[in-house]
Chain A
């Protein structure tokens, strides 16, 4: 009789398993209601969350009938969100609109046919006129535009500790003319007793420094040419840039590989370094430390990149097969509107992509950035996904990280050339 009992238990177990397999996932009650929009971001904390909330408030004002559904995935600087997004896209269950860095990072989605062309949206909303021409150029891929930028950051900013420079007799208000002049200043600073005058952090901050050097040594056109194939990666200019970059590393703190950007900026704040090359989100760190722009710290475009704006942007897309397409377009309209951009950017500490924004609404640093954004030549940032596709960036990141450890310039050059060739 024992075996009969066992059969019953086993049968029950199987039944349970089968039932578990059949149970349907409980979807939201109003899945078919067109008056809602599901927005997928990785803005779940900090100033980004504040910015998103401000944006949602404007959206609720402009489109009171549409319910906003927040599909934010936290953590990993967006890497968790990207993994979650990839599986949703793979399963043909896209969110209506998702956050992505503007520029080449979208290439994979575009090639896979997962994004809708937004050029008619740009036409209808007059965005071709509202955004700077050079930005439109960087956003356009084969004549089409796939995303709407919500905020702009600048990656070629050098942050300067005024006291440290003055202590070595260097005028902090005037940026050195070129990379060579900057290296001279760094040498002076080092000789005055600042052992590591350039604060640097982990792999992506190294990549950002390297891209700054590339822009300085190749100019805007040459640098942009690296990404569309018109500039050779083994050109003499790139080799000069590698040389300059190697020299800069000699002035950096030795523990750079282990520091994230905020820890590197902290070295500057503490007066243990004179310079730090970092995107303009670092502004928040200086404000938080109670420092005043102009007296305790100052900024200029990284030497040699004056007149060039190395941009990165968060942007929103329209997914192919978006369940609530018209509502998603309304969301994109809010993002691109003057009110939406103002609400978001003041909260996040970035600058709007629209040229008709009123500068006096923004804090002091942002005003200078907005002025340069309108006047300067805009190029795309490598370290933040605007310049190169995800896999290309990953290859370059590894090559630069390797150089940071072994300083082998020849191998770096070979790796750069190979990474470009792999994209063919």
Chain B
């Protein structure tokens, strides 16, 4: 018995500060947030009653919230497709062997070191939608190179505008995805490739049956990381456009309701966002836990 305590006691004691802090500041606050979302606290006046799921039902039926979800969907799809494509492409090219690989690696990875807010300020100017004489940023560049017909209104376009907002995000995170894939490529032993070539596999078959299967865990991690970042996107949008209807996503909508003292609605949006993020992350965690167990 005493032996048992000696076994698990010290580790538990060591972990307990983290457990306590996480318990209060993460899970405790999530619980507090959910509680507010179930009340009628729509102003500074304290809540008077629990309204159950009314706030959720109202929110999910609201055109404005559905619009923000649609914006988020466009952003997420373009962002994920863009980062995965460029990340893989760059990693593949670097893996093929180029001179001065270190320089290229840094160049591609570097945008990630810039904060979304700082790059957002620059992209706000680059993505200015004025055309013709008053054009600036990308539109001005296009015009100068005689590609004036390519000028467009960027994020000002009501339906697909969010795709333009995804550009800066792709620019910043492709390098990160590249680093992940590059690590994946390097983790594949040369013997496997050589063996496949010895067996007469074509280059395509080598990738299809040897490389890709070994990269899939990396691709999955990259996908999860990028997609949960996308769900939380807030700072980029705030610095490129501010909190306006055209580019509203749930996170900026939550900020608007918070600053207009509608605490219940704000908490409801926060909870919906958390659930959305969990939909991506929990299956991933389960899968990782399983594969770790299997490997042990």
CB distance from B154 to the nearest CB of A (A): 8
Residue from B45, B246, B262 within 8 A of A391 (CB atoms): B262
Residue from B9, B42, B129, B257 within 8 A of A258 (CB atoms): B129
- List the A side residues contacting B132 at CB < 8 Å: 195
In the complex, the answer to whether B246 meets A405 with C-beta atoms within 8 Å is yes
A253 at the interface (CB under 8 A from B): yes
CB distance from B170 to the nearest CB of A (A): 20
- List the A side residues contacting B260 at CB < 8 Å: 390-391, 393-394
Q: How far is the CA of A3 from the CA of B245 in the complex (A)?
A: 58
Question: Given A272-B134, A401-B246 in contact, is the A6-B258 Cβ separation under 8 Å?
Answer: no
Closest chain B residue to A111, Cβ basis = B45
In the complex, the answer to whether A253 meets B134 with C-beta atoms within 8 Å is yes
In the complex, the answer to whether B244 meets A79 with C-beta atoms within 8 Å is no
Residue from A6, A112, A397, A406 within 8 A of B10 (CB atoms): A6
B271-291 to A contact mask, C-beta < 8 Å, 1/0: 000000000000000000000
- List the A side residues contacting B11 at CB < 8 Å: 6
Q: How far is the CA of A209 from the CA of B258 in the complex (A)?
A: 26
B140 at the interface (CB under 8 A from A): no
CB distance from A87 to the nearest CB of B (A): 11
A255 at the interface (CB under 8 A from B): yes
Residue from B14, B133, B158 within 8 A of A10 (CB atoms): B14
Q: How far is the CA of A391 from the CA of B256 in the complex (A)?
A: 9
Number of A residues, CB within 8 Å of B = 43
- Chain B residues 184 to 237 lying within 8 A of chain A, measured CB to CB, are none
Closest chain A residue to B246, Cβ basis = A405
Question: Given A108-B43, A112-B43 in contact, is the A272-B133 Cβ separation under 8 Å?
Answer: yes
Q: How far is the CA of A11 from the CA of B10 in the complex (A)?
A: 9
Number of B residues, CB within 8 Å of A = 43
In the complex, the answer to whether A114 meets B10 with C-beta atoms within 8 Å is no
- List the A side residues contacting B1 at CB < 8 Å: none
Q: How far is the CA of A89 from the CA of B262 in the complex (A)?
A: 15
Question: Given A10-B14, A82-B259 in contact, is the A112-B44 Cβ separation under 8 Å?
Answer: yes
Residue from B44, B127, B134 within 8 A of A111 (CB atoms): B44
In the complex, the answer to whether A257 meets B246 with C-beta atoms within 8 Å is yes
CB distance from B163 to the nearest CB of A (A): 15
In the complex, the answer to whether B153 meets A108 with C-beta atoms within 8 Å is no
Closest chain A residue to B136, Cβ basis = A255
B33 at the interface (CB under 8 A from A): no
B241 at the interface (CB under 8 A from A): yes
- List the A side residues contacting B13 at CB < 8 Å: 6-7, 10-11, 13-14
A202 at the interface (CB under 8 A from B): yes
- List the A side residues contacting B245 at CB < 8 Å: 203, 397-399, 401-402, 404-405
B59 at the interface (CB under 8 A from A): no
B89 at the interface (CB under 8 A from A): no
- List the B side residues contacting A86 at CB < 8 Å: 44, 261
Residue from A109, A254, A258, A402 within 8 A of B241 (CB atoms): A258
B150-175 to A contact mask, C-beta < 8 Å, 1/0: 00010110100000000000000000
Closest chain A residue to B67, Cβ basis = A402
A319 at the interface (CB under 8 A from B): no
CB distance from B198 to the nearest CB of A (A): 50
- List the B side residues contacting A397 at CB < 8 Å: 245
- List the A side residues contacting B115 at CB < 8 Å: none
CB distance from A110 to the nearest CB of B (A): 9
Q: How far is the CA of A423 from the CA of B129 in the complex (A)?
A: 36
In the complex, the answer to whether B242 meets A202 with C-beta atoms within 8 Å is yes
Q: How far is the CA of A186 from the CA of B245 in the complex (A)?
A: 27
B64 at the interface (CB under 8 A from A): yes
CB distance from A82 to the nearest CB of B (A): 6
- Chain A residues 1 to 58 lying within 8 A of chain B, measured CB to CB, are 3, 6-7, 9-11, 13-14, 16-17
- Chain B residues 1 to 36 lying within 8 A of chain A, measured CB to CB, are 6, 9-11, 13-14, 16-17, 20-21
A287 at the interface (CB under 8 A from B): no
A123-141 to B contact mask, C-beta < 8 Å, 1/0: 0000000000000000000
Q: 8 shortest A-B CB distances, which residue pairs?
A: A401-B245, A10-B13, A112-B44, A6-B10, A394-B260, A255-B130, A255-B129, A10-B14
Can you name 16 A-B residue pairings with CB atoms under 8 Å? A3-B6, A7-B10, A10-B14, A11-B13, A14-B16, A14-B17, A108-B261, A112-B44, A203-B242, A203-B245, A255-B128, A260-B242, A394-B262, A398-B64, A402-B67, A406-B158
User: Which B residues are within 8 Å of any A CB, using their own CB?
Assistant: 6, 9-11, 13-14, 16-17, 20-21, 42-46, 64, 67, 124, 127-134, 153, 155-156, 158, 241-242, 244-246, 248, 256-262
